A and B are shown apart, each in its own frame.
Chain A
Amino acid sequence: MADASSLLLALQMGDSAFPSGGFGFSWGLETLKHDGLVHDGAGVTAFARAQLRWRWACADRPVLRAALAAKGDLDRLGALDREVEAMSLAAEQREGSRRLGRALVRSHVTMGTPGAAAFQAAQRAGRVLGHLPVAQGVVWGGAGLDVTGAEAVSAFAVAAGIGQAAVRLALVGPVEAQAMIADLRGVIATLLAQPCPERPHAFVPAAEIAVMRHESGDARLFAN
């Protein structure tokens, strides 16, 4: 088990109360519910498993890892950002990732996290786009999280975010959501034990189609 200070740092970075805007995003779940394609806990769990296995583990994870390794090198971070931009098919997915990246960095700038202000300045100058996994690598690295901690917090945030969105969409109850997240912890642990892909790639077509359909849909509790 990690030492206490590392564990406390990971708890703070992964706290759903940390101001970073994640509560406003469902990553397609709102539309999938609206279309009747996800209507219960089993559907939410399947959605979350797919997001973790076929998006987070193979796309977000290698980008996060590379962003941590870049140690503030804005040229490398900018190249990572452009790769995420090119890989993100749906407009609300691209914009959502950039919005959340900006929101996360903004909070860390206010807190004085090393590296955050320089990255925000580069964002505002158009040198980097600030996609979420890139921003996470910058600020979590600046805060002192190591690769293991950052990957665990990032993956957990995906699971917890889906669980919270599912509760607010009345797809599951709050305790049922926690039971789902407990199950997903096992999924995350298995993924973390596997080698990290060198190049990011993703395949979550149902979620991507849902995010695209959300752009013109009436159901807008969430930003995507």
Chain B
Amino acid sequence: MTAATTSHPGAARVGIGGPVGSGKTALLEQLIPRFAARGTRLAVITNDLVTREDAERLRRSGLIAPERVLAVEAGACPHTVIREDPTLNLDAADLLEERFSPLDLILLESGGDNLASTFSLELVDHWLFVIDVAGGGDIPRKKGPGVVQADILIINKPDLAPHVGVDLDAMVAEAKAVRGDRPVLVTNCRSGEGVDAVVEAIARDVLFDGAA
């Protein structure tokens, strides 16, 4: 786990970033029931860019109590709200902890952004970056800070590879090459394939619980 620059009491905070349409909300929808089944006490913050759509989608999903989902508007600045000035997200996390203490985990979904997006470690303890096969097989070798620096890189939508002319094995190999020892996981967030490995990694590295 990456050491946070500013420690905080209470729930662990895990960020989920990545480009528009890569599958961040779909990943959340797969993670929430898995953590709930483990007994993890959970809340969610979304940073919708233009609407409240992601927050409303989760509230209506039946996967989590609606009041445990907070939306933070990003003022058209998706980078800023998770990195340069994360105070609105920190405030939302404080509120969730006040209202639902004790919490074990707060998942924080960034607004759709580009490959330069990274989370401040004043906001989160650990962060995931989600890219998808349909976005292009060349994304990993572009070495965007999100791809390189995230604690876990997730490559989503592997089933689309043959339809968009992407060599999935080569994409994964290039991702591993640019990330050194940091993990690269492949998920299909529509079917749930590969998501258990994400839960196991978060449980092990963030919640310090090996019983995933």
Contact = CB atoms under 8 A, between A and B. Distances in A.
A binds B: yes
Interface stretch (A37-45, A101-109, A195-203): A101-109
Interface residues of B, number: 24
Contacts of A19: 84-87
B50 A221 contact: yes
Contacts of A102: 91, 94
User: Which of A24, A99, A110, A223 lies at the interface centre, i.e. has the most chain B CB atoms within 10 A of its CB?
Assistant: A24
B72 interface: yes
Given A23-B75, A23-B77, A221-B75, A17 B88 contact: no
Contacts of A99: 88, 91
A106 B80 CA distance: 17
A186 to B, nearest CB: 27
Interface in A5-40: 17-21, 23-26
Contacts of A222: 73, 75-76
A223 B98 contact: no
A13 B90 CA distance: 20
Interface string B60-97: 00000000000011111100110011111011001000
B52 interface: yes
Given A103-B90, A106-B90, A220-B52, A17 B75 contact: no
A24 B6 contact: no
Contact of B75 (A20, A104, A165): A165
B73 A21 contact: no
Interface of B: 6, 48-52, 72-77, 80-81, 84-88, 90-91, 94, 98, 122
Interface of A: 17-21, 23-26, 99, 102-104, 106-107, 110, 124, 165, 168-169, 218-223
